[in-house]
Amino acid sequence: MATGALERLEREVERISARTERTPTAPAVPTGLPLLDALLPDGGLPRGRVVEWTGPASSGKTAVLRESLRHLRREGESVALIDASGGLYAPHWQALVPGEGEFWIVRPSSAPEAAWCADLLLRSGAFGAVALRVDEAIGITSRAGATEALGRAASVRLQRLAEEAATVFVTVGQVAVAALRLGFRPGRIEPLRDVPFGPLLPPVRPVWIRVGKRGEAEVPVLCPVPAPRVEAVVRDRKGPL
Which residue from 72, 75, 79, 152 is spatially nearest to 121, judged by alpha carbons?
Answer: 79
Taking only the tens of pLDDT, the chain with its 241 residues reads 456 666 777 777 777 665 555 555 668 889 988 888 988 888 999 999 899 998 888 888 888 999 899 988 988 889 999 988 777 887 888 888 887 888 999 888 776 788 889 999 999 988 999 999 875 544 444 444 445 667 788 888 999 999 999 999 999 988 888 888 999 988 766 655 555 545 444 566 778 888 876 656 787 887 766 654 444 444 445 544 4
194, 63 in Cβ contact below 8 A?
Answer: no
The pTM of the full predicted model, rounded to 2 decimals, is 0.77
| Whole-angstrom Cα Rg for the chain | 19
Beta strand pairing status for 103-106 and 79-83?
A: parallel
Residues 78-88 pLDDT 10s: 999 998 877 78
Long-range CB contacts (within 8 A, 24+) of 202-206? 202/226, 202/227, 205/60, 205/63
From CA 159, how far away is CA 146, in angstroms rounded?
21
Element (H, E) at 219: strand 217-224
Q: Which domains does the chain have, with CATH numbers?
A: 29-185+202-223 (3.40.50.300)
C-beta atoms surrounding 183 within 10 Å: 19
